[in-house]
Amino acid sequence: MSRWNTYIVRCADHTLYTGVCTDVDRRVEEHNSSTTLGARYTRSRRPVTLVYSERVTSRSEACIRESEIKKLSKKQKLELIRRTN
């Protein structure tokens, strides 16, 4: 059974990007180096830094959590990050 993660990275321009994956380290590396695998949003905002990660049990749960986080204001996202670090 795969372990899924919902994560937030901080881009070089201080914006936040939220996504889901099964391997956070690999995904951050893709955001920082790949021209095809990283998200289009992060390609022009490199480097990105992992600031939040939350492990869940299924892809469905990860996508639901991603949606919840994306609906938060930037201030609320920063508070979520602060509380977990």
Q: Provide the pLDDT for residue 1.
A: 57
End-to-end CA distance of the chain: 28
- pLDDT, tens digit, 9 for 90 and up, residues 23-49: 999 999 999 998 888 889 999 999 999
Q: Provide the pLDDT for residue 52.
A: 98
In order of their start, the domains of the chain are: 4-84 (3.40.1440.10)
Q: Tell the residue number behind the tokens 């372990």, with chain if given.
A: 3
Q: Mean pLDDT, the chain, as a whole number?
A: 95
Q: What share of the chain is helix, strand, coil (3-state, %, to 5)?
A: 45, 25, 30
Cβ neighbours for 55, distance < 8 A, ≥ 6 positions apart? 3, 4, 5
Predicted TM-score of the model (pTM): 0.94
Cβ neighbours for 75, distance < 8 A, ≥ 6 positions apart? none
